Structure 1
Amino acid sequence: MTPDDQPFRPISVFTDIAIEARDIVRGDAHQEIPGVRVEEHQARGVRVTEVEIFEESAERLMGKPRGHYITLDVPTFKERDPELRQRLTGMLTDQLKTVIPQDPQKSILVVGLGNWNATPDALGPRVVDRILVTRHLNQIVPEDLRDRMRAVAAVAPGVLGTTGIETLDMIRGIVDQTRPDVVVAIDALAARNLDRLLGSVQIADTGIHPGSGVGNRRQGLTETSLGVPVIAIGVCTVVQSISIAQEAVQLLVEELAEDVTLYKILREMTPAEQRGLVEEVLGSRFQDLMVTPKEIDVLIDDMADVLAEALNRALQPQLDRQEWT
């Protein structure tokens, strides 16, 4: 088989979402990528997709470290339905309990990545503001509560552009001093699909690389770099504008292909050829332009509430809700 005959191509676009990377690499191939396992199911109105990358070849193709990625999709989250928020909170709590040790003796450091001055990037700091921080309470709470309460610390370190310090350097120093058993890092993510804007939450056991989704890759927070396991939680808050252009072309093809000669031509092009056309025409102008919803202020707060409540439940499984609110 020659390189041109191979069904898979290494990913060449920015996306933080593992299932999107898998779909892009697969393209029109009607087979799974070697070294990747995917399982999907739906519960309580939330679609859950689990992606496991377990071979080095798949890691190279997808541009994602080997490990497990769990994506919870709720495209209608932007409608601000309180019942849906509660269902998502419950599902997210259940998923977090599978990746975060439930032993209350295991201490946790929650890291809220991002720039609190830029709303689409402020998710991490806003979640940290809502986390039940208990590490300093161990000696002053009643003994019954002490036995059931896990030590949790939280920090929002800011970004290199406002602090002048690499996030990894800051977190490594905190880890060295406080010695948590696990780090949970929260960050805003970039996606390719518009439906994922404030509608997809990804959990990964591979750590996180701040800024990778927008082409501004910083040093990663991983078990290798910090010396402790790192669980990453991310929410899509931005989409590349060029992705919107590509989606618009596909919609035009679907709607108008029977009526207009131009669209008949476009319809005969494969999705990969359509993407290539858009990138050739618009890539140099729109490659770095990111788009976010106009309601981003309230949506970020809504999602921060969901993530914080789910984390508090998962981190303090032996506490009643009344004890941590």
Structure 2
Amino acid sequence: MFSIRTDLAVEAREIYQKENGKEVPGVVVDVNEDDGIRVTTVKIEDEMGSKIMGKPKGTYITMEIPKINHYDANMQDDLSRGVAKQLSKVISIKDGQTAFVVGLGNWNVTPDALGPKVVSRLMITRHLKKYVPDTIDEGINPVCALAPGVLGLTGIETAEVVQGVVEKIKPDVLIVIDALASRKTERVATTIQIGDTGISPGSGVGNRRMEFNTKTMGIPVIAIGVPTVVDAATLANDTMDMMLDRLIEQTKNNKEFYKMLKNVDKNEKYMMIREILSLENGNMMVTPKEIDSLVDTMSKIIANGINIALHPSIELKDINKYIN
């Protein structure tokens, strides 16, 4: 079962803005360009903002990245540095503290394999710091990682596995990587989300599992995600929205037809499409045809972003040599 969720804070904010024509109360939004990457930071500061957004209080960062070139190593390195820079805004880890990284998802299903692939490319050092500390340079923090699989593979709730490891090794911060289901087709494999409120695996496909957050784990939980799929209803809805926008542009002189098109409730339309498709095809998910290379490249970018953030004294070139 996919551990894919839909909870992009940017999307929740956009929906509220369209419906109400104003910014969400209790929410502070900052949008800026950073080395060609559009970064939107949404901070939910009070209970009213939390209730409206349907998300816990905290910080949600969305990086809108350019189209990935699988063969452009320099671009990938720049994006990794960008990820590290944004991670530094939500991670509070001191020199010598232990970070535990968990890659959620099913490594047998490509769109859901982001987490395990990231884990396979991390600079793992906890065992070295423990057993051969004299061989490790200063500024390298203890990092351990796990790709625990999914309930359908193990028969064990993933969060229970992680809870057990956390209780045993007592890390100072937990970083969780997961694939996401997006409510906008254009955001698939073009955004990276970082948040400090944890993660709810499976919620994007109607299969909510036990949450990963400070309450359940007892330590700060940082979540990193990339949308890798949309459901069929979203794809159909986006297509209809584009068609309606085109018709509206072309029918301004026909006042009645123009008025009818403008009054179409897009949320009701989406729910109707979703209901019809669920009856005909179940909960169908759609992913790009090049998803193999996209997930592979995204996993490298995110893994090196984590490596840079957790080992600030080492250059990316040295990390690449160490990993490869």
TM-score normalized by structure 2?
0.88
Q: Give the aligned CA root-mean-square deviation in angstroms.
A: 2.4
2:15 match: secondary structure: helix
- Residue 9 (structure 1) aligns with: none
> Are 1:163 and 2:158 counterparts?
no
Cα distance in 1 for residues equivalent to 2:167 and 2:227 = 30
Shift of 1:51: 0.7
- Residue 256 (structure 1) aligns with: 247
> Quick one: higher RCO (CA 8 Å, sep 6+), 1 or 2?
2
The answer to whether the Cα contact below 8 Å between 1:15 and 1:21 also exists between their aligned partners in 2 is no
- Residue 288 (structure 1) aligns with: 283
Shift of 1:322: 5.0
1:169 match: secondary structure: helix
**Over 4 Å off, 4+ runs:** 78-83, 139-142, 259-264
Cα distance in 2 for residues equivalent to 1:142 and 1:106 = 14
Cα distance in 2 for residues equivalent to 1:148 and 1:41 = 30
> Are 1:230 and 2:221 counterparts?
yes
> Are 1:134 and 2:125 counterparts?
yes
Shift of 1:269: 1.9
> Are 1:120 and 2:115 counterparts?
no
> Are 1:306 and 2:301 counterparts?
yes
1:198 match: secondary structure: coil
The answer to whether the Cα contact below 8 Å between 1:241 and 1:287 also exists between their aligned partners in 2 is no
Shift of 1:44: 1.6
Q: For the structure 1 residues 278 and 70, does the alpha-carbon distance in structure 2 shift closer, same or farther, using more than 3 Å as the test? A: same
Shift of 1:62: 2.2
2:294 match: secondary structure: helix
Shift of 1:139: 4.7
User: Counterpart amino acid of 2:312?
Assistant: P
**Count of residues paired in the alignment:** 312
Q: 1:203 pairs with 177, 184, 194, which one?
A: 194
Q: Deviations over 1:244-271 (max 9, x none)?
A: 1111111112223426989744344243
Q: For the structure 1 residues 285 and 38, does the alpha-carbon distance in structure 2 shift closer, same or farther, using more than 3 Å as the test? A: farther
Point out where structure 2 has 5 or more consecutive residues left out of the alignment: none
Q: Deviations over 1:54-78 (max 9, x none)?
A: 2223323322111100000125237
1:21 match: secondary structure: helix
Cα distance in 2 for residues equivalent to 1:304 and 1:187 = 11
Cα distance in 1 for residues equivalent to 2:160 and 2:145 = 16
- Residue 17 (structure 2) aligns with: 26
Compare 17-26 and 196-205 and name the one that shifted more: 17-26
> Are 1:297 and 2:292 counterparts?
yes
Q: 1:42 pairs with 1, 12, 33, which one?
A: 33
User: Counterpart amino acid of 2:11?
Assistant: E
The answer to whether the Cα contact below 8 Å between 1:238 and 1:291 also exists between their aligned partners in 2 is yes
1:101 match: secondary structure: coil
Compare 189-198 and 277-286 and name the one that shifted more: 277-286
Cα distance in 2 for residues equivalent to 1:99 and 1:208 = 15
The answer to whether the Cα contact below 8 Å between 1:112 and 1:156 also exists between their aligned partners in 2 is yes
> Are 1:99 and 2:90 counterparts?
yes
User: Counterpart amino acid of 1:308?
Assistant: A
Q: For the structure 1 residues 233 and 81, does the alpha-carbon distance in structure 2 shift closer, same or farther, using more than 3 Å as the test? A: same
Q: Deviations over 1:287-317 (max 9, x none)?
A: 6211111111111000000011111111111
Q: 2:78 pairs with 87, 90, 99, which one?
A: 87
Cα distance in 2 for residues equivalent to 1:287 and 1:204 = 31
User: Counterpart amino acid of 1:54?
Assistant: E
Q: For the structure 1 residues 268 and 320, does the alpha-carbon distance in structure 2 shift closer, same or farther, using more than 3 Å as the test? A: closer
> Are 1:109 and 2:106 counterparts?
no
Identity among equivalent pairs (%): 42
> Are 1:17 and 2:8 counterparts?
yes
Shift of 1:144: 7.2
Cα distance in 1 for residues equivalent to 2:60 and 2:71 = 26
> Are 1:318 and 2:313 counterparts?
yes
Compare 167-176 and 285-294 and name the one that shifted more: 285-294
- Within a 5 Å distance, the mapping from 1:202-221 to structure 2 comes to 202-221=193-212
Q: For the structure 1 residues 138 and 295, does the alpha-carbon distance in structure 2 shift closer, same or farther, using more than 3 Å as the test? A: same
The answer to whether the Cα contact below 8 Å between 1:27 and 1:272 also exists between their aligned partners in 2 is no
